[in-house]
Amino acid sequence: MSEANTTRRIIIDCDPGQDDAVMLLLALASPEALDILGITTVAGNVPLDLTQRNARLMCEFAGRHDVPVFAGCDRPLQRALVTAESVHGTTGIDGASIHRPAVPLQDRHAVDFIVETLLAAGDDPVTLVPTGPLTNIAAAIEADPRILPGIRRIVMMGGAMREGGNTTPSAEFNIYVDPEAAEIVLGCGRPLTIAPLDVSHQVVVTHEPLDALRAMPSRVAAETVGMLEFFNRYDSEKYGTEGAPLHDPCTIAYLLAPELFEGKLCHVAVETGSALTRGHTAVDFWGVTGHPPNALWLHRVDPAGFFALLIERLGRYDG
């Protein structure tokens, strides 16, 4: 992949969720590559009051009290919120030891933080890394389109093509929850990399990475084991696999080691009108529509390299 591996300024927007939480721990362990300007949270896997708490907990576990955490939109742009407690548990990060985080919640709304940061980006534009419903990102674009030049690239987790949907037969959760927000982001005109179920289903959590984490002395490793053991149970039963696909860490892994991934420039559109196929990502993989590509659609990942990176970075946390 052509993305140069240099220190880049990012904003992570997420809905923790165990896989978002592992994504955060991976990003927070890589300060030489990622300057995390802030973590913004959105309603998704669980309601906003829990996703923001969970993000703050991950910053505390990682010892990264320097990274500000913001709460954003508590529901999709137009629709009622759909959550996924059946997958993630009632806390969103079942399997972790939960307490009131020492890391405070910022007063500013996440959308205001995103707008102000991107307007001030100047000649050092910011990479956005959304791993939940795209409500905050879309709301920021709608609030002030002048932010667009401040976006270097959007590297998002969402969508599905060959893998099919995980929330309906047609749709992946992040896009299903807020398809109108996805439509705004897909049409924003900024460079876009999409890590869909098609790649996350190639990185299933097996006993090897879990055993490696169990051998580590750190609190982060212990919390990650607890979260992944819980996270594995739902998808193991649903898909008959040894574990769960590790969706959201694919975004950060792409930024840290793009050579692990293979993608194709495609036109990607989203269904917003149909009740049956709401949130479906229509990926023009073979260029049959004549529409110009608007996204780099990742469709292959090196699982061994992905987990080697994840274990090496989580191994940086000391006891």
Using CB under 5 A as the criterion, which residues of the chain lie in contact with Ca ion when the complex forms?
15, 17, 20, 131-132, 248
Of 17 and 95, CB closest to ligand RIB = 17
Of 17 and 245, CB closest to Ca ion = 17
Would you give the end-to-end CA distance of the chain in angstroms? Answer: 35
Site for ligand RIB in 236-295 (CB under 6 A): 247-248
The region of 11-19, 187-195, 218-226, 300-308 touching ligand RIB under the rule CB under 6 A is 11-19
Smallest CA-to-CA distance from 308 within 26, 2, 20 is with 26
DSSP assigned state of 293:
P
Give which of Ca ion, ligand RIB, none residue 166 binds (C-beta under 5 to 8 Å, depending on kind): ligand RIB
Of 195 and 213, CB closest to ligand RIB = 195
Give which of Ca ion, ligand RIB, none residue 170 binds (C-beta under 5 to 8 Å, depending on kind): none
Task: Report, in Å, the least distance between residue 18 CB and ligand RIB.
Answer: 8
Under the criterion CB under 6 A, does residue 13 sit at the interface with ligand RIB? Answer: no
- Per-residue DSSP letters for 53-92? HHHHHHHHHTT-TTS-EEE--SS-SSS-----HHHH-TTS
- The residue from 247, 267, 280, 299 that is catalytic is 247
HSE toward the beta carbon, residue 137, CA cutoff 13 A = 37
Of 156 and 212, CB closest to Ca ion = 156
Among 13, 15, 112, 284, the residue binding ligand RIB under the rule CB under 6 A is 15
Q: Give rounded-to-5 percent helix, strand, coil for the chain.
A: 40, 20, 40
Residue 289's Cβ-count burial label (10 Å; 0-12, 13-18, 19+) is exposed
The region of 27-35, 171-179, 255-263, 303-311 touching ligand RIB under the rule CB under 6 A is 171-179
What is the helix (H) or strand (E) element at residue 137, kind and residue range?
helix 135-143
Task: Report, in Å, the least distance between residue 59 CB and ligand RIB.
Answer: 18
Among 13, 20, 198, 284, the residue binding ligand RIB under the rule CB under 6 A is 20
Site for ligand RIB in 141-160 (CB under 6 A): 157
Across the strands, what pairs with 14? 41
Under the criterion CB under 6 A, does residue 194 sit at the interface with ligand RIB? Answer: no
Task: Report, in Å, the least distance between residue 134 CB and Ca ion.
Answer: 11
Of 68 and 249, CB closest to ligand RIB = 249
Among 173, 230, 254, 307, the residue binding ligand RIB under the rule CB under 6 A is 173
Q: Dihedral, CA atoms, 93, 89, 73, 69, nearest 10 degrees?
A: -10
Backbone angles phi, psi at 61, to 5 degrees: -60, -35
**Residue 99 falls in the annotated catalytic set:** no
Residue 207's Cβ-count burial label (10 Å; 0-12, 13-18, 19+) is exposed
Contact 135, 77 (CB under 8 A): yes
Nearest 5°: the CA angle 298, 62, 222 is 90
Residues that bind ligand RIB (CB under 6 A): 15, 17, 19-20, 44-45, 131-132, 157, 166, 172-174, 247-248
Residues with catalytic function:
247
